[in-house]
Amino acid sequence: MRAVIPYKKENAKSRLSSVMTKDERETFVELMLKDVIHTLTDAGVQDIDILTTNAGGVADDAGVRVIEDDADLNPALNSYLKRVDESVLIIMADLPLVKSEHIRQITSSPSDVVIVPGKGGGTNMLFIKQPKGFYVKYYGSSFRTHCMIVNDLSRSMDVYDSFLASTDIDEPQDLIEVMLHGHGLSGEYIRQRFGSEAGNGRVQLSMID
């Protein structure tokens, strides 16, 4: 099997702009990418592709194959799926809380397709045993859409339920989860720049002077 990571560095994570500068956000997404790559490698995944619109935005030491495609996410991934003839794990680059045991559990499922839902109806990971004939449709309620695609193709499906695997990092409050549960470079980066304080029953992000 192989894994593919869609990745964008330029002006990434604009919803974090209230707490991080452009340069800080770009550094942060690169560290999250490295965490995901390390997790995949630790889980025994040897073939890792990064699908990006700008290969120059990927660190040279990533140790993976970089594929440049100017198309949007869906056509780029669907074109990629047509070119591979082995099992594929599509994993987003903003999942720094995922651990190697999650990857091993997902890829050992007997089902044809495993879907890992994200916050707000998104899709964080898709494990597709037979990519031929399969297609993806991200954005909107992509979790429901991918469930319907699996059903329409008459393939078996498993939904992988995990807080850490379902937590993608988009909003400032999401950084709390990285601070509390991060186990890699991105967690260290956030803990160096932010603090936390209790408030209204939840831990809140605080700025370090």
Domain ranges of the chain: 2-167
Say which residue, 204 or 101, is predicted with more confidence: 101
A 10 A CB-CB count for 87 gives: 15
**pLDDT value at 201 more than 70:** no
**Which class is 2-167 in CATH?**
alpha beta
Say which residue, 203 or 144, is predicted with more confidence: 144
In the predicted model, what is the mean pLDDT of residues 94-104?
A: 98
**pLDDT value at 136 more than 60:** yes
User: C-alpha 38: how far from its chain's center?
Assistant: 13
In the predicted model, what is the mean pLDDT of residues 51-75?
A: 83
In the predicted model, what is the mean pLDDT of residues 167-172?
A: 94
Half-sphere CA count of 21, side-chain side, radius 13 A: 3
Alpha carbon of 162 to those of 32, 54, 88, 142, 189: distances in Å?
18, 31, 20, 17, 24
- Band (pLDDT 50/70/90 cuts) for residue 63 is low
pLDDT mean across residues, the chain = 92
Model confidence pTM above 0.85? yes
